[in-house]
Amino acid sequence: MIAIIDYDAGNIKSVEKAMHLLGQEVVVTRDRESILKADKVILPGVGAFGDAMSKIRQYGLEEVIHEVVEKGTPFLGICLGLQLLFERSDETPGVEGLGILKGEILRIPDQPGLKIPHMGWNSLKYPHEGRLFRGIPEDSYVYFVHSYYLKAEDESIVTATTEYSTLIHASVESGNVFACQFHPEKSSDVGIQILKNFVEL
């Protein structure tokens, strides 16, 4: 059973739908026991870093997320869910993230001719092998919607990058923790394969 953490963030429905498409039993929940019992856990998200962290804390989900990670359950952060795993974000200075991984979330630099937020399809490069990308060739395209991007402190955890005004750490893997800045659930067949790789871990 896969638990999708419900903290009032956007894109939960599309992640749930993608999981059903893969034949998975899914529960959308903020119940501690249900999350801890799940075989895999997904933290989706669209929205602002500070608001999301305040909801996570309001619903008592911070400790639960740390417990899930510590007990080795495969954990996937998507979009804002990736950003929340890190220590801080330019979007909301002074608000601490979950701090599960080291690094910071920076604003995409302005560049003439490039729109922010970055919305659309970009291709991926693989600086390190990642289990989420098994069977997916380099330069495959995935769908992004974001104004802030990850700069991980430890580059050895970065499994995919893309270029948009700067080098963006688009996906990470550290032990049982996986995360994507892009939306696999909106990335057509490539995205479904990424989610299938997560499900089959």
Residues noted as catalytic: 79, 183, 185
Nearest-angstrom CA–CA distance, 191 and 4: 17
The CB density around residue 156, as the number of other CB atoms within 10 Å, is 11
Cross-strand partners of 33: none
How do strand 141-146 and strand 118-123 relate by DSSP bridges? antiparallel
Displacement of CA 55 from its chain's centroid (Å) = 17
The CB density around residue 13, as the number of other CB atoms within 10 Å, is 12
Place of tokens 């939306």: 183
Return the amino acid letter for 177.
V
Q: What is the helix (H) or strand (E) element at residue 21, kind and residue range?
A: helix 12-21
